[in-house]
Amino acid sequence: MKKLTLEELKKIKEKAQSDLQARSPEGKDKIVVHMGTCGIAAGARETLLAILDEIEKRNLQNVVVTQAGCIGLCEYEPLISVQKVGGPKVLYKHVTPEKARKIIAQHVINGQIVTEDVLSTE
């Protein structure tokens, strides 16, 4: 391997830092996928994978994805909630992988809630 220059050190740092970002939820937009048994049966796994894929593709560094259990609204599964920093927590219903990609583009990136899919806002 060729010797590192200062510039390259900085580049490695930036890249590696975004990798470590995954270890801290603070100051980041949060996406929670509800993964109760009901959610998984309704396809929450595929939704989650689509979300991860979209985040990777768009190189979104300020977003953390976590899972949560069933919240008793099984008929609306798959459910995800999105909360941008400082914004309301928005619960989306029947989130298919396609809808998930749309929510990321429209809500997470552009800050516009995808109103037709919203179940509740708090």
For other proteins, the binding residues (CB under 8 A) are 1-6, 9, 12-13, 15-17, 19-20, 22-25, 28, 32-37, 39-40, 48-49, 52-53, 55-56, 64-70
User: CB 121 → other proteins: shortest distance, Å?
Assistant: 21
User: CB 118 → other proteins: shortest distance, Å?
Assistant: 21
Q: Which is nearer to other proteins, 64 or 119 (CB)?
A: 64
Q: Which is nearer to other proteins, 12 or 115 (CB)?
A: 12
Spatial separation of the C-alpha atoms in residues 102 and 6, rounded to whole Å: 40
Q: 116: which DSSP letter? A: G
Q: Are 93 and 119 in contact (CB under 8 A)?
A: yes
What are the angstrom distances between the C-alpha of 64 and each of 24, 32, 33, 42, 104? 8, 8, 11, 22, 12
User: CB 64 → other proteins: shortest distance, Å?
Assistant: 4
